[in-house]
Amino acid sequence: MIEGKGKFINRPTKSGKKTYDKYFIYVPTEIARDGLFPFKPGEELRIKIDANKKCLIITKG
């Protein structure tokens, strides 16, 4: 299993007169390019919160 450090980022975006929060999860390049990484750019993902384990579960959408 490859491991790395990512970040949770907020990049506010203006649309007209309003500003909206836009959140991203940064995945390090060495993780995303690994043969075991299950996602491809542009794929739709399903994101769930596991409140007991305090973690996100990300699967193909």
Q: pLDDT tens digit string along 8-22? A: 999 999 999 999 999
Domain encompassing residue 23: 7-60
pLDDT score at 49: 97
Whether 1 is in a domain gets the answer no
Number of structural domains the chain divides into: 1
CA dihedral of residues 23, 60, 49, 55 (deg, nearest 10):
-90
| Residue 22 · residue 9 · CB < 8 Å | no
Whether 22 is in a domain gets the answer yes
Q: Is the pLDDT of residue 45 over 70?
A: yes
Whether 19 is in a domain gets the answer yes
Alpha-carbon distance of 7 to 4, in angstroms, equals 10
Work out the mean pLDDT of the chain and round it to a whole number. 94
pLDDT score at 61: 87
Q: Band the pLDDT of 1: cuts 50, 70, 90.
A: low
Whether 25 is in a domain gets the answer yes
